[in-house]
Each structure stands twice: as structure tokens, then as C-alpha cells.
A and B are shown apart, each in its own frame.
Chain A
Amino acid sequence: MKKAVSITVNGTTHHSEIEPRLLLVHYLRDVLGLTGTHVGCETSICGACTVMIDGQSTKSCTMFAIQADGSSVTTIEGLAANGALHPVQEGFWERHGLQCGYCTPGMIMSGAQLLERNPNPSVEEIRHGLEGNLCRCTGYQHIVEAVQHAAGKS
């Protein structure tokens, strides 16, 4: 039984009829075609699917799309404002914070959330803030540097 939802994603409100069991990540990827948000595990561990919901970083594989009815979602595609990269995106580019790029959108979301709450984090605080995101390529050090760069501490 499909249900009607309206979800604002990256500033655009979408009205959709969806199955209640549709995961938010599948709604974003398969219904809206926003494929920058990735699926990396099925147990809410890896964080590749992280998006912002009403300003809070959330694993979109651990939420039904219907729960986001009426919410405002920001995905990696919507993070750059008016064509200017978000500072965390810039940091990742400057500091080689990514290799294969698969975990990257989620990592960037977590980095952005961290800096919103703590604009001047220590290395330990950055690592703690990225605990919900797994990366298998970088060993995290360049990611930590990327977040530092974004915080203007480079």
C-alpha cells in the first residue's frame, strides 16, 4: 500500500507515492536519481549513506523514506551552495581525502556536521566525529587533514 509523502531534497520539494518499507537511501537513489549517496553495508555501520536531515547527519539506510515526510534533506549533490564547494569538499580535494570515492559523500557529510557543532576541533575530536564512517582506502589521515583544512587550521 503506497503512501503519499512530500520531502524536500536539496531545496526542491518532491511529492511521491511510496511503499512504507522504501528506505530513504533507495528513495534518494532510485526515485529521485540522486546517486551520490551510497550504500556500503546493511547494518548501519559504514556511513556511506549519510545525508543531512533537518541539519542532522543521518544514515539514510536506517530510515524509511516515509519517516522523512515533511523533512528537508541535503545530499552530497546539494552541499555545494551556488556552485561554490563546501569547505569540507574543498578540504577533501586539497588534502587528498579520498581515493576510490565511495565513502566520500558520507564522510563529507560527517565532516560538515562536525564543523557545524565544533568549528575548531582537535585531531581526536575529528576522529571521534568520523567514527560512524568507514573508509578502506585512505587510512583516515588525509581525511583528518581535510577536515582540519576546512576548519581553517591547515
Chain B
Amino acid sequence: MAKYVGQRVKRTEDPRLITGLGHYVDDIKLPDTLYVAFLRSMYAHAKIKSIDVSEASHAPGVVAVYTGADIGSKVGPVPCAGALPGLKVPDYRVLATDHVVFAGQPVAAVVATDRYAARDAIDLIMVDYEELPAVVDVEQAAKGGPLVYEEYGDNIAYRLTSGEGDIEAALKASDKVIKQKIVHQRLIPIAMEPRGVLARYYPGEQELTIWSSTQIPHLLRTQLAIMLGVPENKVRVIAPEVGGGFGSKLNVYAEEALVGWISMQHGKPAKWIETRRENMQATIHGRGQIGYIEIGCKNDGTITGLRYNVFADMGAYLQLLTPAIPTLTGLMLSGCYKIAAIQMNVTAVFTNKMSTDAYRGAGRPEATQVIERAMDLVAAELGKDVVEVRRKNFPASTEFPFKTATGLFYDSGNYELALDKALGMADYKSMREAQKKARDQGRLVGIGVSTYVEICAIGPSQATPAGGWESATVRIEPTGKVTILTGASPHGQGQETSFAQLAADELGVDLNDVTVIHGDTSIVQYGIGTFGSRGTAVGGTAVFNAIQKLKEKATQLAAHLLGVEAAAVSFKEGRFSVEAAMAATVANSGGSKSEPRTSISIQEVALAAHVAHKIPPGFEPGLSATNFFEPSNFTFPFGTHIVQVEIDKETGEIQFQRYVAVDDCGKVLNPMLVDGQVHGGIVQSIGQALYEEAVYDEQGQLLTGTLMDYALPKATMIPWLELDRTETPSPVNPMGVKGIGEAGTIGATPAIVNAVVDALSPLGVRHLDMPMKPENIWRIINKVN
């Protein structure tokens, strides 16, 4: 058994974080820093007739006030990486000029000597707006409605049809076709650390350093170089400690470029720290789809076809991946079932709201919600058990790689194994019996099942906007310490530990002798970043591959130092040894006064590689190896979640009674970290299922704009989560790992919704939209309109 890999190793990140000594952006203090605050549009849609900054400019401590007119074309537009046929990409300027299209859009920036003065001056800027009608409802926007951009003539960002198979024929040949409207409400990601940017421009060196709370330091560097017109090799982006992301920091934001530009104007460091209200208004939102499901089935429960017509809410602007998110929904509509024909028709629309983009799961929770709700609809229609219908449509474990009608090849899977394990843990049969008894007493008890699969380890470069690979450099320093430079950018996932575990085992060194460096573009070779549950499967594989290269090189030198051919050297637990038979030959060869060595430690080899006194011809000094790993496919983690709830008949309040989850993310480097990811994912799902929703009024004002209004799950709202795993290795990478960052969020929501629908099924309920607020349930129970 490996010493570290597969073990519950405590995190090496933690000592600094539990003592308050980590450094998030706002913890970095530079002398003479200027503070930036933004005036944001109070209207969702308006013309700016004039802006008067004179009073603000003269306020105490204020150094400058900038408006869109001052910026002009000096800073390039906020980028969108989506490249879909017919996509309309609005010109997204870092400060609005004459037109604002969502409440919270930056209109002016105050630069002051401290954050209090900057905030005070915001109130002194006078903007004369002419309010325009706003379009908020997605379907109304698609039909026409007020236009976000007059010049487009409609609110359609793009339309797209995807999927394979003859859907018309498939539905026609079905015994039953079930239709259901489904709403995936807008969510606000709310990483606990809001965004923040610190920029420092050195006019002499012409170097711009940006500390940003980001998941993608390298991609951000490239985009900031383009936006600011600074050579990319003069821009350094550092993602210091990052307090959560969940996709909301997988982006390039106006403020990141603008704070950099301000630092360049003044030759001083400039800092902006987002307030929570700004975060809720002007950091990307997630989900935001309204769809129409048509699912066909045979009377025996075989699924014949699935059509999903969806209106996707883009918001007013396209951020980095905004238009790409619905395409991920399309990819995963097959769920873990054999469905011969699938079609998705997307109508992506502009609205006067903040952009949607990647929020934990990014398009896949929507797909899973669609197919897992649809499976329950089929079961209800046919009067079959929800487990039976699912099992009937699973591909067998021998059918992998499994081709879907959405154009994917699922790498590996054993859906029945995970299902059966979860059923066993839950004691599903007894659960159903107890439910029957409870129902006989008039209680509303429900059991929900979700068997999910998701697409992650994003991904092959062909399938991503800008590189789906990841990079790693592994080197052993002269003193034998191991340094890993990863292009991944972990922000809570724990890869400083899991990558160190990997290296410690592979190189036979102590865990504490390994340091993992990430997030600094001047130190780390180009990388892609952490999102799409890719950190370990893609980033970790790059580390693994680099280690293998490093070991090859070290073996060459070790062999030279031991006086044998490389093939005669074996490596185990940190030592290179001459094979036993060969050792005897060396010993008998005579001529040497001292006893010939038969083994050498990797630390000694590292020192020898750097001192370079005794290296073989052609051997490059130093001991370092780099790998850029390009995956051949995505990976497809899967699992089964089973939830039991009881509804208070009088009030509609939902109580969790059990939560059982069996997840399969392939091989596991650190089970403790995997559990943590699953816990967090499930709880964000509980948030979506029961509490969270970004609500805008008809004028486009965000009504849930503080944490007093937007409910996140608290410790008291969560059931005990009973977890287990199955382990089906992925063939896509040598470690067999898949990814687990988003699986919980993807698998859990439908299980929770299915449980609540099941509880209400005696009342004829077949579907509920989220968040399942007590009032809505109370209305159903009491038939109140």
C-alpha cells in the first residue's frame, strides 16, 4: 500500500489557514496603495445623459475619478470565449459610456488614498439617467419584449440545436410521451471571499503585477495583456489564497482590467475589494434556464427519446463562458441511460440582468435535473418504481466506452454497482415500507433517488475554448527538497496536499519535503486553472507524468554514479539500487579500492545533478521535468444519491430524514478531501433545492441583493450526510482518477426534488420547481392558488 496516496492525509495548507496567516488579496498590503470604489448603475436599463464628477473629484483623499469617457478605447472590452455560430457579442466596456444594461454595471471609478474616502466620494457623483424599460423575464425577452440592444433587433444571443438520432421518429414510436416545463432558477455563487484586485505597476520596468482572487491566473494574464495593451511577458498575475470560487472566479472581469489600468495611470499600487452587495449584483450568476421536456418511453420503461427546448438567460453581457454553459447541458442530457435519440434546442436570450456563467456544475446540474426528473415522470406515468426504471435503462459496465446520442463517449462506469451500494446503505426496501406506513397515517414522507453521471476533468483542448490541458513542473532542489509547479490553481480543493502525496510516494520522499506552488504566472509555466473538476484528473496527471520523466532522468544519473547501465537500476522508496545480480558483478569486477556503492538516494542524485561534477556525457545538469498533459477525453464520475424527507403538512416546511450518497470518482488520492468535496457539493445543492434564488423585480432590480435576503444553507439546515464510494478507474489518465468537485452539486438537487415530489405524490403532484419554498408546498397541499 502506498504510504500517502489513498490515505486520509491532513492538509499541508491548513496550518497557515487555521492561524490566520494565509494571504488573500486584501491581506496583501503595499505602501502608497490607492483604493478604488465603483459607482454602479442604479437602473437595469437606462441611457446616461451626463455624469458630473466635479464634487467627487475634490473630495478629501480623492486622487481621481474616471468615467467611461475617460477610458474610451484605452482598455479593451471584457472578453467572451464562446464561439458559437451566429453568436452576438455585445461590446462590453469596463465602464459604461452612454448605456447601462444591468443594475450594478460600473459607471464610474473613484480613486482615493483610503477605502473610506473612496466610498464617501461615490455618493458625490451625479449621474443623469434616462430610464428605459427593462426586460427581465426570459421567455418575454425571447418573444420580443423591450430590447436590451436596439441594434440587434431582438434579444436572441444565439440559437442552437444539438443531439443525435431521429427524435421525431423516436417520440412517435413511444408508448408514452411525457411533457414537463422545468425551471432552473438563477443562483448567486457567493464564494465567501468576494472578488478583489490589487495591481502594482512599476513604470521603470514597465511591469504590471495583478493579484486577483481568480481561478485562472494564466488565462487572466493573457486577457489582461490584450485588454490593457501591455506585453504579456510584462504582466504577472498572482492568485494568492483564494477564498472559494465555484466558477464565479473563472472569468475576466471589468474591475480586474480597470484596477490594473488605474495603477498604470498613477504609478502606484491600486486596490479594489468587492463588497458583498457588489458581489451579488455584479459577479456572475449561475443557472437561469427555463425548459420544456418531452420524454418518450415504452410501457416496459425503456426510454426512447428526449427533447429539451430551453430558454437560457444570458443576462445583459456575455462574460467569459456565458454562451457555452447551455451547450454543456446539451452534452449531458442522456444522463446515465441509453437513449437513442436526444435533441436540445437552445434559445439564448439577453436580459437586463447580470450575466450568467459557470457556477458549480455549469450546465450539467440543469441536464441532470432534466433527465432525473424525467425518469421520475416516466416511473410515475407507468406506475413503476423509480429505481426499476433507472436500472432498466443503464448501460452495462461492459458497454464502456459508452456512446451517447449527445456525441460523447463516457469513459468508464458501473452504474448498478453504485446504485446497489446506495440502496443497501439506505435499506431502500425498508425505507419504502416505512413510507407506506407513514402514508397510511396521513404523513407526507418522500424518498428521492438520483442516479447521475457528469462530465468533468475538462477537458480535451478540442472541446474547450482555450486549452483543455494542464501543466506541471517537478524538480528536486540541490538539498533534496521537491518543488511542484502546477498550472492548476486550487482554491480550497487541497491539491497542495494531494499533489504532495503523489510526489512523496512516487519519489519516496517525506511529504513535508514537497512544496506545491501554484497561482503565480511568473513562477509557474503556463497553465489553464482550476474549474470543471479538472484539478486532479488533468493537473494531477501532469504532475504524475512530470514525475515519471524526472525519475527517468534521475535513473540515468544514478546509473552513472553507480557505474552501471540504467536498465540495471531499480528505484524504490527513494533509493536507486543496482539490481542484485548486477551488484555482484560490480563487486567482483575488482580494481577499485573502495567498496563499490550499490545504491544511492534520490537526494544524493539531486545534489549530483546540480553540482554536475560527475554527470554522463550529454546529461543536462539540474533535476527537473515538465509535462503538459493533453487528455484524450473527459472523465465521467457518477453515483447514486438517496434522500428521505418529511413535509410538515400544516406549514409546508421540509425536514430531511436521511441523506445517503455513493459517488464514484475513480481512483482517490485522499478520501478525506473527496468527502469534503461531496459534502460541499451536496450542501450547495440543498441551497438550490430549498433556499436560493436570485430574484429580480420587473424593473430589473435585484431583490435578493444581500445575505439578509438571499438564504445560504446554514449549519442548522443540513442533515447528516452518509457517504460511501465505489471506485471505477478512468482509462483516460494513468492514475485512473475522474474528479469530484462538482459531482455532489450535480447529483444531489434532483434527489432532493424527487424526494419532495414523492412526498406529495399522493396529492397528484408530479413536479416541483426550485427553490421548493414552504409556501409553494403549503399551497399545493391546501390547493390554494
Contact = CB atoms under 8 A, between A and B. Distances in A.
Query: A contacts B directly in the complex (CB < 8 Å)?
Result: yes
Contact of B192 (A43, A48, A77): A48
B493 interface: yes
Contact of A40 (B10, B194, B493, B713): B194
B17 A104 contact: yes
Contacts of A127: 715-716, 718
A143 B713 CA distance: 14
A107 B241 CA distance: 18
A103 B679 contact: no
A130 B718 CA distance: 12
Nearest to B189: A136
B191 A101 contact: no
B720 A141 contact: yes
Contacts of B191: 100, 102, 136
Contact of B721 (A26, A123, A139): A139
Interface stretch (B24-32, B82-90, B766-774): B24-32
B26 A100 contact: no
Interface in A14-54: 19, 21-22, 26, 29-30, 33-43, 45-46, 48
Contact of B244 (A34, A102, A128): A102
Interface stretch (B141-149, B153-161, B404-412, B680-688): B680-688
Query: What class of interface size applies to chain A in its complex with B?
Result: 35 or more
Interface in A131-150: 131, 133-144
Contact of A102 (B11, B24, B673): B24
B716 A89 contact: no
B312 interface: no
A43 B708 CA distance: 7
A96 B712 CA distance: 21
Given A42-B276, A135-B192, A123 B720 contact: yes
A115 interface: no
A76 B679 CA distance: 25
Nearest to A37: B20
A99 B494 contact: yes
Given A100-B242, A101-B241, A136-B192, A141 B679 contact: yes
A138 B713 CA distance: 11
A73 B15 CA distance: 22
Contact of A137 (B10, B19, B676): B676
Interface in B187-202: 190-194
A140 B715 contact: yes
B464 interface: no
B679 A93 contact: no
A7 interface: no
Contacts of B21: 36, 77
Contacts of B680: 99, 136-139
Interface string A88-100: 0100111010111
A142 B316 CA distance: 39
A89 B708 contact: no
A46 B673 contact: no
Contacts of B244: 99-100, 102, 136-137
B611 interface: no
Interface residues of B, number: 59
Name the prevailing secondary structure of the B interface residues. loop
A136 B543 CA distance: 28
Contact of B10 (A33, A94, A123, A131): A94
Given A43-B707, A101-B13, A135-B192, A35 B26 contact: yes
Contacts of A65: none
Given A100-B242, A101-B243, A103-B192, A138 B706 contact: no
Q: Which of A21, A42, A94, A139 has the most CB of B within 10 A?
A: A139
Contact of A98 (B17, B275, B718): B17
A39 B26 CA distance: 10
Contacts of A48: 192
A151 interface: no
B246 interface: yes
A21 B27 CA distance: 21
A75 to B, nearest CB: 7
A79 B10 CA distance: 21
A139 to B, nearest CB: 3
Given A139-B718, A142-B679, A38 B246 contact: no
Interface string B647-690: 00000000000000000000000001101101111111000000
Contacts of A75: 20
A134 B191 CA distance: 10
Nearest to B23: A35
Sorted nearest first, the 8 A-B pairs with minimum C-beta distance are A36-B20, A102-B243, A100-B492, A139-B679, A101-B17, A76-B20, A139-B683, A99-B492
Interface of A: 19, 21-22, 26, 29-30, 33-43, 45-46, 48, 75-77, 79-80, 85, 89, 92-94, 96, 98-105, 108, 123, 126-128, 130-131, 133-144
26 contacts: A26-B115, A30-B115, A37-B20, A38-B193, A38-B243, A40-B192, A42-B706, A43-B276, A43-B706, A43-B708, A93-B10, A93-B15, A99-B492, A100-B192, A100-B241, A100-B491, A101-B14, A102-B193, A108-B18, A134-B707, A135-B192, A136-B712, A139-B718, A139-B744, A140-B713, A142-B679
